[in-house]
Amino acid sequence: METYRIFDSHAHYDDEAFDEDRDALLASLPARGIGAVVNVGASLASTKSTLELTRRWPFVWGAAGVHPSETAQLREADMEWLKQICGEEKIAAVGEIGLDYHWPEPDRETQKRWFVRQLQLAAETGLPVIIHSRDAAQDTLDILKAHRRELTGGVIHCFSYGVEMAREYLDMGFYLGVGGVVTFSNARKLKEVTAYAPMDRILLETDCPYLAPVPNRGKRNSSLYLPAAAEAIAAIKGISAEDVIRITWDNAVRMYGLTVPAL
């Protein structure tokens, strides 16, 4: 029987957590069932590192963007640079961008300003968006509703809200990113959302090096742990893990606009 490969739709292999073994780990992924990875920028520096990874590894694509927690020092000239990066062949999205109110800095107005500006960048380039939203449910939703018609699509990464908020995003055509958290015993809301969301609107992701699934919770995460998340989703949806892997592959290539064979 043919085995489908896994698409990790959100990773951070440029993170310092991988400094000691990055090349060896990435080199091992294809033989261990990982067929594609999108490495996601979180700052100007990590976007540059992401671009370098896409040039080195054939199965790695990238996203260019600045995480809300890194927006304090942004300038308009940085948006011009990001727009240039978005024109690179293997940059498939603008992200991760959004709002994070968990910490008081940067202030909320600064975060909102650069969230909107990066949504405009996505509209200008025609790329989908990868949205980070933490403790900022209503403001994120309101801003995305105001700009939805300008966007080609996107994903609410590491979805952490309830079914009502999931419905709002699904109605707007967004995908929901689901990863290792779905295996946690205390992840009731995410399990409810996973049960509610249509399977063709779920993306499989790691957010590595963060959020490793059970039984590796608390360890450094990597794409190699995605089968555990796929199995948890499969149990919730009443389908096979192979079906989850196949469908989420199709979802990711559709959202990112890629032509990559799943087998």
Q: What is the CATH number of the domain that holds 116?
A: 3.20.20.140
Report the pLDDT value the prediction gives residue 2, as an integer from 0 to 100.
Answer: 59
pLDDT at residue 208 tops 70: yes
Q: Would residue 151 count as lying in a domain?
A: yes
Strands laid side by side in the 60-64 sheet: 6-11, 34-40, 60-64, 91-100, 129-134, 154-156, 175-178, 202-204
Whether residue 127 has pLDDT greater than 90: yes
For position 47, what pLDDT does the model report?
98
Asked if residue 243 is part of any domain, the answer here is yes
Give a yes or no: residue 168 inside a domain.
yes
Q: Is residue 186 part of a domain?
A: yes
- What is the token pair recorded at 189? 């809301």
Cβ atoms < 10 Å from Cβ of 125: 18
CA 243, chain centre distance (Å): 20
pLDDT range class, residue 263, cuts 50, 70, 90? low
Phi, psi of 201 (to 5 degrees): -125, 15
Domain assignment of residue 238, yes or no? yes
Number of domains, the chain: 1
Whether residue 112 is contained in a domain is answered as yes
Dihedral, 210, 214, 218, 220 alpha carbons, nearest 10: -50
- Residue 18, pLDDT > 80, answer yes
Query: What span, in angstroms and rounded, lies between the C-alpha atoms of 69 and 61?
Result: 23
What's the mean per-residue pLDDT of the chain?
96
261 inside domain: no
Mean pLDDT of the region 229-245? 98
Note whether 116 and 136 are within 8 A (CB). no
Supply the pLDDT for residue 27.
Answer: 98
Condensed to tens digits (0 to 9), the pLDDT of residues 19-37 reads 999 999 999 999 999 999 9
* Average pLDDT, integer, range 40-64: 98
Which runs of consecutive H residues, i.e. helices, occur in the chain?
A: 22-28, 44-56, 76-86, 108-125, 137-147, 163-171, 188-196, 226-237, 241-256
For residues 67-89, average pLDDT? 97
Range of the domain at 22: 6-256
Task: Give the pLDDT band (50/70/90) at residue 132.
Answer: very high
Note the pLDDT of residue 260. Answer: 78
What pLDDT, on the 0 to 100 scale, is given for residue 259? 84
Q: What is the pLDDT of residues 177-197, one digit of tens each?
A: 999 999 999 999 999 999 999
> How much is the pLDDT for 135?
97
| Domain annotation covers residue 262 | no
CA-to-CA dists, residue 13 to 23, 37, 165, 185, 189, angstroms: 10, 10, 30, 27, 28
